[in-house]
């Protein structure tokens, strides 16, 4: 069974490097996941791949079945979640085309299902929501590739699907480094299930605080330009994941979540 899962968009799925073995579409107590989960190999490493928004982009950020997605991957035996996503930059030095491996998030979402524990009180500790072990692996890999990357930073997660107003963008700049729509509640649900979570965030724009208004055309164009290096990062980084040298699972055990 695959221990590693990649959650991302259609561009991250590359049939030239992903050797598909089978697909599954499991039922969970929270419904079906976003789409069929493909099980295969990248660089010889067994992987589960899930389209976060569905293969046809049928799930906007607010209605992604996050609870079903994380539950299904856990049931498949996954211990590590690698999230590939596009984000906007809130800092001048975080430029479009750069890779960011965040270590914090700030939640500005409004209407999502945030926890598996709706029928009992569970207070899970998440001072460091992203997995330091995975972050280091991909930071070291990015350094070896010679690409421009940033380790650390706060990901401001907004509800979407619209982009920020100019006033909001300038407000968010006081708190965070990058801005996106999907890390919450995905990251915290993974922690509740004792899974390690890492975000590989590609900067596609400067949001709307800078010189250019953001549009989906800009996001898609920049993401496509950066796709090759993200795929190479995965190919080189995934084989290095060989042990669980972190405390992600301890938080879930400590509060009785798992």
**Cα(119)–Cα(121) distance, integer angstroms:** 7
The number of angstroms, rounded, from the C-alpha of 169 to the middle of its chain's C-alpha atoms is 21
**Residue from 205, 213, 245, 250 carrying the catalytic annotation:** 205
Which stretches of 104-196 are DSSP H helices?
132-145, 166-172, 183-192
Query: Is position 118 annotated as part of the catalytic site?
Result: no
**Cα(201)–Cα(185) distance, integer angstroms:** 16
**Residue from 35, 98, 107, 207 carrying the catalytic annotation:** 207
Distant-in-sequence, close-in-space partners of 244: CB < 8 Å, separation ≥ 6: 79, 133, 196
Query: Is position 205 annotated as part of the catalytic site?
Result: yes
**Residue 244 in tokens:** 């669980």
**Residue 144 in tokens:** 């070896």
Please tell me whether residue 196 adopts helix, strand or coil conformation.
strand
First to last CA, the chain: 20
**What is each CA distance from 136 to 170, 199, 238, in whole angstroms?**
30, 12, 12
Residues forming the active site: 205, 207
């Amino acid at each position: 069974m695959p221990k590693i899962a990649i959650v991302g968009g259609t561009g991250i799925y590359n049939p030239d490097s992903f050797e598909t073995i089978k697909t599954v579409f499991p039922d969970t107590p929270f419904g079906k996941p976003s789409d069929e989960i493909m099980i295969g190999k990248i660089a010889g490493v067994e992987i589960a791949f899930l389209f976060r928004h569905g293969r046809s982009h049928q799930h906007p950020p607010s209605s992604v079945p996050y609870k079903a997605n994380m539950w299904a991957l856990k049931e498949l035996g996954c211990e590590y979640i690698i999230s590939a996503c596009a984000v906007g930059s809130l800092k001048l030095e975080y430029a479009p085309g750069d890779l960011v491996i965040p270590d914090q998030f700030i939640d500005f979402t409004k209407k999502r299902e945030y926890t598996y524990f709706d029928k009992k009180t569970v207070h899970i500790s998440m001072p460091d929501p992203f997995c330091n072990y995975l972050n280091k692996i991909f930071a070291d890999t990015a350094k070896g590739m010679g690409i421009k990357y940033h380790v650390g930073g706060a990901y401001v997660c907004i509800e979407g699907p619209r982009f920020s107003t100019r006033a909001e963008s300038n407000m968010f700049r006081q708190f965070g480094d990058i801005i996106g729509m999907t890390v919450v509640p995905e990251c915290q649900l993974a922690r509740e299930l004792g899974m390690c979570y890492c975000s590989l965030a590609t900067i596609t724009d400067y949001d709307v605080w800078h010189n250019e208004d953001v549009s989906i055309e800009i996001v898609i164009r920049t993401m496509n330009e950066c796709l090759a290096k993200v795929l190479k990062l995965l190919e080189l980084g995934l084989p290095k994941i060989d042990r669980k040298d972190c405390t992600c699972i301890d938080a879930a055990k400590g509060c009785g979540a798992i």
